[in-house]
Each structure stands twice: as structure tokens, then as C-alpha cells.
């Protein structure tokens, strides 16, 4: 089960529980079973799933809850907290700081995405104001230096390597010395991989590490390896004093849930995830926003960061959230303005999942073209609305005759207008639940 499906399954289980007339032991048990099934299908280890279930049951003791307590909210919170705990090793990692030379060494098996990730990591930090450089100390794989050179040249990052020298330690030391003299403040050493964990690989890692004394060793792991992730992460951690992990290939059909939870179980912080082959397919990994996005709750802070980092690095970010939202009213006009901003920002895939309500249901990853077309259609329909309709918050205003008029005016079908309004209501409902100052009252209402 790919990650988006895992998030969808958990969200559906929670919503079924939420919609039950009465929340009793059976409803809770059904909800938990559904969540556990989804986690197992996403390759999360059985032991972890068992613990998740036991912990939620411990927190949610229906018999002990006082009458009038909002059971639905307590269950929802317990599930979200447990998913977060499952992915959180509770340990921050070293982060490079400006103004001092930082040395980072990359380790991992061949094919895990190590070389690609070195360049992504360098490029990410350059956008943050660092002056990075890459050293290719992979003398094991033929073509490794060419690959790093190609990636580095494309990304305009200085690099060092050799076609003739076969001693990785020598290359690493020379490269690091050279870039230190050139005042590079983030030197990244790419080491050799192997097809499998073996003594020779660990010995080479140890020697390069001893000779260069990195501030941080990053272990790169393929996110699609599922159940094997725990053993692999643990083996590298024990052999190479790994300080952080980057999980790659979290796009496509990766059952990333297994890899992420397995890595967390080894108490190694995941710092980034790779989400594609392109240099920008690289995301900071932070548990809370990740879980929010996984469960379709959006990630506003991530959205604003992404706009800063990738899309408009030199300009002010566009005001996608808008002043109206802070006042707690999500109107059709606000949705229209969001669409306008999205259209001006380029690739949709990078940001849509961070906007509450826009995740997989609205625009599927990999189907951004259809997403763009959908936004255009919706905007055409909205162009045929009156100011009162766009600014109104009274759903009854949108009666059949108005819907017919909008359909006629925009040249779209009545069903399409109805569908657009339903999508708007769904998104607006989600935004109303966000913990914005004026929404807090609604969050505290009891339903049981
Ligand atoms: P290395 O042997 O560990 O250095 O691995 P490479 O960097 O050569 O990557 C192996 C393959 O995985 C290449 O085809 C990369 O383009 C691809 N790759 C790396 N990271 C990702 C990712 O996050 N997503 C996808 N889909 N492919 C990736």
C-alpha cells in the first residue's frame, strides 16, 4: 500500500468512527482493526503495529470516560499521537550551521539513491545560503565519479574525484582539504556502496570516516524495501555511527510506511525523504507536518516553507492563506484566490498536498495536468458567480436556479457546478477545523 493510500485508509477509519451514532467498544475495535490492517499492508512491522494498538487502547478507556466527554475527539487524538510516536525516534540530528566548515559523509547500499541524494542535499543547502561542495570517494562502482560529476555540473556545485586513484580514503582526504582551503562550508563526501551489507563496505566506511572525521554520517536507504528496513538501518547504525537517515524513493509505489517506522524504531532521525529523481524532489522530514499531510490534514507551515525555498526563492511568498482565513471564514472567493496563486506558482505536485483539503482527493500526484485543468474549470464557473455568491457564507444561497445560471454562464454542466460546490464545502469544512484563533471555539464542541 503506497503512503497516500495508507493515509486515506486511516482517515477513512477515523471518519467512519466519527460518523457512528454511538461510540462504543465495538466501534472502537472496528476502527483500530482497520487502522492496524492498513499499517500492516504498508509494511509496518508487526511488533510496531501491536504496540500502536495497545497504546491507543490504553489511552482510550471508554468505560472510564466521564459522561459528556467527546469520545470521538479523544480517539482521533490518540490515533494521531500514536502514528506520530511511531515515526518519531525522539532524537534530533546534527544540522549544519553557517559560518563553520561542516563535513557530512553519505553511506548506503548501491542503488539506494546515495549519489543522487548527495546532490539534492547540496542543492537544498545552497538554497539556504551555504557554499557546498561534493567529493566522490566511491571507487568501487565503475561510473560513480561520472555520475556525481554529471549531477554536480548540472546543479552547478563544485566537485572533486579521480578516474585513476583507487584508494577512497586518499580521495576523501584530498577533496576535503581542497574544499576547506576554498572555504566551502558544507563538504559532502559520497562513499562507495555495495549490493549488500558486507564487512568490506563497513571497513571502508570506517576508514574514510576516521580519516576525515565527519560531523555527520547520513545513511541513505531505499524506502521501497519494506520489512528489511529495520535490519538494514540497524546494521549501518552500529557500523558507521550513523547520525541521520534519508529515505529515498518515497514516490511511486513505495510502501514507505514500513521504512519510516522501521528507521524510527532504530532511534535514527529521518531528516529528508526523496520523492523522485529530480533534484527538487527532496523534502525535509518532520514528523508532525508529515502525519498531518498523510492524514489529509494539510501542512501550512510546510507550504509556506516550500514557497520560500523552491518556488519563489528571491521574492516574497504569495499570500495563499489570505486575510479572510485568519478571520475564520473560508469563502468561495478565497478558494478562487488560492487557485489564482497556485496557477502562478508552477508545478502543482509540490504544494497541493500541503494545502488542507487539496491532497490526493483533489489532485492526484502524477496527474497534475488534470489538476490544472480542474482548477481552470472551477475558476470558469466561479467567474459566472455574483459577488454575493463568492463572498457569501450561507449555503442556502446556492439554490437550484443560481446553479443553473452559473452552469449556463460558464458553459459547464449543472452536475459540474454541483460537484465544484461540494468540493468547496469539503475544503471549507477542513479549513474550519484548523486550529486558527477564531476556529478554536468549534474545536471544543462535544458531540457525545
Ligand atoms: P547509488 O548507487 O546509491 O549512488 O544510487 P543512485 O544515486 O545512482 O540512484 C539509483 C537510482 O535511483 C537512480 O536511477 C536514481 O535516479 C534513482 N533515485 C534516487 N532517488 C530517488 C527517489 O527519491 N525517487 C525515485 N523515484 N528514484 C530515485
Q: Which of 352 and 264 is assigned the larger pLDDT?
A: 264
Q: What does the chain come to in residues?
A: 448
Element spanning 337, H or E: helix 332-344
- The pLDDT of residue 149 is above 50: yes
Instruction: Tell me the pLDDT tens digit for each residue of 400-444.
Output: 999 999 999 999 999 999 988 988 887 877 777 665 444 333 333
Instruction: Tell me the pLDDT tens digit for each residue of 304-322.
Output: 555 555 444 444 444 555 5
Measure Cα distances from 199 to 107, 142, 195, 231, 361 in Å: 14, 20, 12, 15, 47
Residue pair 209/105 in contact by the 8 Å Cβ criterion = yes
Over range 377-381, report the average pLDDT: 91
pLDDT value of position 438: 40
Query: Which ligand 1 atom is nearest residue 252's CA?
Result: 26
Ligand 1 centroid to 423 CA: how many Å?
37
Lowest mean pLDDT among 176-180, 185-189, 307-311: 307-311
pLDDT value of position 446: 32
Q: Which residues pair with 272 in a beta bridge?
A: 246, 284
Please list, in sequence order, all residues whose beta carbon lies within 8 angstroms of the beta carbon of residue 441, skipping any fewer than 6 positions away: none
Residue pair 383/412 in contact by the 8 Å Cβ criterion = no
Ligand 1 centroid to 279 CA: how many Å?
11
Q: What is the ipTM of this complex?
A: 0.98
Query: Which ligand 1 atom is nearest residue 220's CA?
Result: 3
Q: Which of 3, 105, 111, 113 to mutate to test the pocket of ligand 1 (most atoms within 8 A of CB)?
A: 113
pLDDT value of position 309: 54
- The pLDDT of residue 295 is above 90: no
Q: What is the DSSP letter of 64?
A: G
Q: Which residue puts its alpha carbon closest to atom 13 of ligand 1?
A: 113
Determine the 3-state secondary structure of 405 from DSSP: helix
pLDDT value of position 60: 86
Q: Which of 277 and 64 is assigned the larger pLDDT?
A: 277
pLDDT band at 347 (very low <50, low <70, confident <90, very high): low
The rounded distance, in Å, linking the Cα atoms of 383 and 368 is: 22
Q: Which residue has the cell 508545478?
A: 347
Residues contacting ligand 1 via CB (< 6 Å): 108, 110-116, 147, 193, 248-249, 251-252, 274-277, 281
**Residues of the chain by 3-state class (helix, strand, coil), percent to 5:** 55, 10, 35
pTM score, two decimals?
0.72
> Cα dihedral sign for 165, 168, 170, 174?
positive
Lowest mean pLDDT among 16-20, 27-31, 172-176, 348-352: 348-352
Instruction: Tell me the pLDDT tens digit for each residue of 30-46.
Output: 999 999 999 998 888 89
The total of other beta-carbon atoms located within 10 Å of residue 22's CB is: 8
Instruction: Tell me the pLDDT tens digit for each residue of 195-215.
Output: 666 788 888 889 999 999 999
Q: Which of 426 and 135 is assigned the larger pLDDT?
A: 135
Instruction: Tell me the pLDDT tens digit for each residue of 73-123.
Output: 888 889 989 998 888 888 888 899 988 889 999 999 988 999 999 999 999
Ligand 1 centroid to 31 CA: how many Å?
37
Lowest mean pLDDT among 175-179, 206-210, 256-260: 256-260
The rounded distance, in Å, linking the Cα atoms of 395 and 153 is: 55
Percent pLDDT > 90 in the chain is 32
Amino acid at each position: 500500500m503506497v503512503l497516500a493510500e495508507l493515509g486515506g485508509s486511516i482517515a477513512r477509519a477515523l471518519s467512519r468512527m466519527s460518523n457512528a451514532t454511538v461510540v462504543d467498544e465495538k466501534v472502537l475495535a472496528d476502527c483500530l482493526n482497520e487502522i492496524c490492517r492498513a499499517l500492516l499492508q504498508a509494511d509496518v512491522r508487526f511488533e510496531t503495529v501491536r504496540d500502536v494498538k495497545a497504546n491507543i487502547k490504553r489511552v482510550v478507556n471508554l468505560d472510564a470516560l466521564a459522561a459528556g466527554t467527546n469520545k470521538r475527539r479523544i480517539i482521533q487524538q490518540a490515533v494521531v499521537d500514536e502514528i506520530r510516536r511511531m515515526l518519531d525516534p525522539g532524537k534530533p540530528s546534527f544540522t549544519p550551521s553557517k559560518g563553520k566548515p561542516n563535513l557530512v559523509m553519505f553511506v548506503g547500499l548501491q542503488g539506494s539513491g546515495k549519489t543522487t541524494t548527495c546532490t539534492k542535499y547540496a542543492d537544498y543547502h545552497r538554497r539556504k545560503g551555504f557554499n557546498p561542495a561534493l567529493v566522490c570517494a566511491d571507487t568501487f562502482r565503475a561510473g560513480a565519479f561520472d555520475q556525481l560529476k554529471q549531477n554536480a555540473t548540472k546543479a552547478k556545485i563544485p566537485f572533486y574525484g579521480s578516474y585513476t586513484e583507487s584508494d577512497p580514503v586518499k580521495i576523501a582526504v584530498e577533496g576535503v582539504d581542497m574544499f576547506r582551503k576554498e572555504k566551502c562550508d558544507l563538504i559532502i563526501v559520497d562513499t562507495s556502496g555495495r549490493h549488500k551489507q558486507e564487512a568490506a563496505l563497513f571497513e571502508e566506511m570506517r576508514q574514510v570516516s576516521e580519516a576525515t572525521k565527519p560531523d555527520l554520517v547520513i545513511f541513505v536507504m531505499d524506502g521501497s524495501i519494506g520489512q528489511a528496513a529495520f535490519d538494514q538501518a540497524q546494521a549501518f547504525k552500529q557500523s558507521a555511527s550513523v547520525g541521520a537517515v534519508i529515505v529515498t524513493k518515497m514516490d511511486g509505489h513505495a510502501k514507505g510506511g514500513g521504512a519510516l517506522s522501521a528507521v524510527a524504531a532504530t532511534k535514527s532521525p529521518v531528516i529528508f525523504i526523496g520523492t523522485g529523481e529530480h533534484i527538487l524532489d527532496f523534502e525535509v522530514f518532520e514528523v508532525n507536518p508529515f502525519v498531518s499531510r498523510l492524514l489529509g490534514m494539510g501542512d501550512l507551515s510546510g507550504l509556506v516553507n516550500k514557497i520560500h525555498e523552491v518556488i519563489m526563492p528571491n521574492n516574497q511568498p504569495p499570500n495563499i492563506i489570505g486575510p479572510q482565513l485568519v478571520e475564520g471564514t473560508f469563502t468561495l472567493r478565497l478558494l478562487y484566490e488560492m487557485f489564482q496563486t497556485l496557477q502562478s506558482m508552477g508545478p502543482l505536485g509540490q504544494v497541493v498536498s500541503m494545502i488542507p483539503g487539496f491532497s490526493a482527493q483533489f489532485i492526484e500526484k502524477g496527474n497534475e495536468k488534470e489538476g490544472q485543468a480542474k482548477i481552470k474549470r472551477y475558476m470558469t464557473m466561479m467567474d459566472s458567480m455574483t459577488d454575493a455568491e463568492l463572498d457569501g457564507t450561507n449555503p442556502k444561497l446556492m439554490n437550484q436556479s443560481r446553479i443553473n445560471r452559473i452552469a449556463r454562464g460558464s458553459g459547464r454542466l449543472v452536475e459540474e457546478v454541483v460537484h465544484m460546490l461540494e468540493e468547496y464545502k469539503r475544503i471549507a469544512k477542513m479549513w474550519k477545523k484548523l486550529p486558527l484563533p477564531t476556529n478554536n471555539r468549534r474545536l471544543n464542541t462535544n458531540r457525545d
